[in-house]
Amino acid sequence: MTAMKRPRVVILGVGFGGMNAARALEGEDVEVTVIDQHNYHTFLPLLYQVATSGLNPADVAYPARGLFRRRRRVLFRQGTVTGVDWDAGLVELADEDPLPYDHLIVGVGARANYFGVPGAAEHAFPLYSMPDALKVRNYLLALFEAADARNDLIRAGVLNIVVVGGGPTGIEIAGAIAELITDVLEADFHDLNVRRARVILVEQGDSLLPMFNTDLQRYALEELRSKGVEVRLSTAVKEVGQDYVLLGEEGDYIPTRMVIWGAGNRASGLADSLGVAQGPGGRIITNPDCSIPDKPNAYAVGDVAAIPDGEGGFMPGLAQVAIQSGRHAAAQIMRTIREEPHTVLRYHDKGTMATIGRRAAVAQLTNGTLLTGYPAWAAWLGLHLVYLVGMRNRVSVTMNWAWSYFTWDRGPRLILETPRFEPPRRDGPYVPPTDVVQRHGIASD
């Protein structure tokens, strides 16, 4: 027997896809290098709770090196991937030497999709990473501090918070902000009427949660409205400005300093620079085994991938798809090494859920069972604790949740970086600024 060099597997991204691929390979006879721009895995489903002061960053993030502490054959590298040299089999990195691979898994995830809405990329707040979540938290809390210190800012819309998108991301963040205001900020502010704050959820379609059963859609709508969220269905966003948003065809003008964008996502920028076939939202179209066509030994998994669902479409952008595709790509690499034929990814749908707030959630299980209210909420809590990485994080999240639940308080409501708010554009009853009026034939809200 001759000594063989172990195959080198490089995994781009330590999200659900990349992390699960690496875990599936950590016991195998391969060298694994995982690269991510951050030094931690982010548990995206709970990011909105960091944004609304419910959880600490470290509760929903897990140090990437901690994942592989006892696996000396798995290396982590913090770095920015700039491209792939397919011919030479090299991953290109900013500031660093390129990294050779024998097998490659691309799992770099998604970013916000602004669908070309003017001003959205400049002024709206996405919620796809830990820095995004901390920025939303700092900004959100600072809006109320600014309103308290300078009442003229309220008239100029500083307490109007607009959430775009009626999918799970949008309803979760809108519900959490509404509860933050009524449960927490109302007790915090003694001489500011925080009920003057408006949370406006804008959805282009005619219902919330399009992927859910209509009963659950109706429940979510009622729950959100009962929490004080103004839900505007069949309403498109026309333009986002620094201190306003224009809604609908008529250009309904709402002064606001905070538009949170939860209206959909697209593949990370890296997908555009790989020279591969791209599907909806710029996702990398894969073969049914998650491999990238015409790129030997390369795979795409999770939100950056458009994996055929066998029915002419692609698999949805869900955590479960990312987890399963990550594991599947790892398995295909081992099959290649063992010279076995590849297999097709069959997605096991475990059901979908979304939470609206305290004791309010919806869940749709694969056997057709529908849950709302307390049972759905309890299921949601339990499932998220199970899927969260790391025992310390589970304990800390449980403690923070229990604390919020019983005390109606939220610990981590810290403004770690205070944004400055420009003063209102004019005095008097607030009307749209002339430049916006001139560009659109608009009516004031």
Beta strands in 144-277 (DSSP E): 160-164, 198-202, 229-232, 237-240, 244-247, 252-255, 258-261, 265-267
373 near its own copies, rule: CB under 8 A: no
Question: Should residue 56 be labelled a site residue for its own copies when binding is judged by CB under 8 A?
Answer: yes
Taking the complex as a whole, how short is the minimal distance between the CB of residue 330 and its own copies, in angstroms? Answer: 19
Binding track over 411-430 against its own copies, x by CB under 8 A: xxxxxxxx-x----------
In the block, residue with structure tokens 């964008």: 261
What angle (nearest 5°) sits at the alpha carbon of residue 148, between those of residues 145 and 150? Answer: 105
The only residue of 166, 390, 424, 432 in contact with its own copies, by rule CB under 8 A:
390
* x/- letters, 169..208, toward its own copies (CB under 8 A): ------------------xxxxx-----------------
Please answer whether residues 216 and 372 qualify as being in contact, where contact means their C-beta atoms are separated by less than 8 angstroms.
yes
State yes or no: residue 5 binds its own copies (CB under 8 A).
Answer: no
Report the nearest approach of its own copies to the CB of residue 75 (Å): 6
- Rule CB under 8 A: say whether 79 interacts with its own copies: yes
Task: Please tell me whether residue 393 binds its own copies under the rule CB under 8 A.
Answer: yes
- Span near its own copies by CB under 8 A; candidates 50-58, 161-169, 272-280, 305-313: 50-58
Report the candidate in 6, 169, 195, 226 with the shortest Cα–Cα distance to residue 101: 6
Helices 319-337 and 16-25, axial angle in degrees (round to 10): 30
Dihedral of alpha carbons 118, 124, 126, 127, sign: negative
Q: Pick between residue 190 and residue 348 the one whose CB is nearest to its own copies.
A: 190
What φ, ψ does residue 172 adopt, rounded to 5°?
Answer: -65, -45
- Binding string, 87-126, against its own copies, x = CB under 8 A? ------x-xx------------------------------
Q: How far is the CB of 312 from its own copies (least distance, A)?
A: 41
| Nearer of residues 63 and 279 to its own copies, judged by Cβ | 63
**Distance (Å, whole) CA 148 – CA 408:** 21
Residue with Cβ nearer its own copies (5 or 420): 420
Near its own copies by CB under 8 A, which window of 5-13, 217-225, 385-393, 428-436? 385-393
Q: Does position 148 bind its own copies by CB under 8 A?
A: yes
**Degrees to nearest 5, angle at CA 146 with 117 and 229:** 55
> Contact between 385 and its own copies (CB under 8 A)?
no
49: which residues sit within 8 A by CB, 6+ positions away?
A: 55, 60, 176
Alpha helices in 129-255 (DSSP H): 130-149, 152-155, 168-179, 186-188, 214-226
Residue from 130, 237, 331, 333 touching its own copies (CB under 8 A): that is 130
The DSSP symbol for 185 reads I
| Whole-number Cα distances in Å, 418 to 141, 158, 383, 397, 421 | 9, 15, 35, 26, 10
Q: Is 313 helix (H, G, I), strand (E, B) or coil?
A: coil
Q: Shortest Cβ distance from residue 191 to its own copies (Å)?
A: 6
Q: Is residue 65 a contact residue for its own copies (CB under 8 A)?
A: yes
Alpha helices (H) in 313-390, listed in sequence order: 319-337, 373-387
- What are the residues whose beta carbons fall under 8 Å from the beta carbon of 175, sequence distance 6 or more? 223, 224, 227, 229, 355, 356, 357, 360
* Out of 3, 4, 69, 339, the residue judged to bind its own copies by CB under 8 A: 69
Residue from 66, 248, 288, 316 binding its own copies (CB under 8 A) = 66
Min CB(43)–its own copies separation in Å: 12
Q: Active-site residue among 26, 122, 145, 172? A: 172
Phi/psi of residue 157, nearest 5 degrees: 90, 15
**Whether residue 249 lies in the annotated active site:** no
Give Cβ neighbours of residue 369 (< 8 Å, ≥ 6 apart): 363
Q: Does 370 bind its own copies (CB under 8 A)?
A: no
Stretch that binds its own copies, among 56-64, 209-217, 315-323, 346-354 (CB under 8 A): 56-64
The distance of closest approach from Cβ of residue 244 to its own copies in the complex, given in angstroms and rounded to an integer, is 21
* Binding piece for its own copies, criterion CB under 8 A, among 70-78, 119-127, 314-322, 334-342: 70-78
Residues 6+ apart with CB under 8 A from 305: 17, 106, 107, 283, 284, 286, 290, 325
> Would you tell me which residues interact with its own copies (CB under 8 A)?
37-40, 56-59, 61, 63, 65-66, 68-69, 72, 74-75, 77-79, 93, 95-96, 130-131, 134, 141-142, 145, 148-150, 187-191, 390, 392-393, 395-396, 399-400, 403, 407, 409, 411-418, 420
Active site residues: 172
